[in-house]
Amino acid sequence: MTPNRIKKELKRRNISQVQIAQDLGKSAAAVSLVVNGKSRSRLIEEHVATLLGRERFDIWKPTRSVMSDND
């Protein structure tokens, strides 16, 4: 999924990146970096995927380092 598509789907569900950050105790900047594909966080990716009713790797392609991260 492209970053624009993720943002569009979140907006359609009235979910803001700030809300996601608050849910997870993370910064809005951290959520933005993940949504825009500039950073990876299993916690943020899984939460966003759940909110969108999808699997994490349906949205973000798996990588060797992400598959083993403990975040």
At 50 the three-state DSSP class reads helix
Return the pLDDT at 70. 47
| Domain membership of residue 35 as a residue range | 3-58
**Reported pTM:** 0.86
- Which pLDDT score is estimated for 44? 98
Q: For residues 30 and 64, what is the distance between their CA atoms, to the nearest angstrom?
A: 21
In a domain, 38, yes or no: yes
Q: Are 3 and 37 a contacting pair, CB within 8 Å?
A: yes
Does the residue 52 lie in any domain? Answer: yes
Q: Is residue 64 part of a domain?
A: no
Predicted pLDDT at 34: 97
Does 63 map to a domain? Answer: no
pLDDT along the chain (71 residues), means of 10: 96 98 98 97 98 96 64 54
Give residue 13's pLDDT: 97
- Number of folded domains in the chain? 1
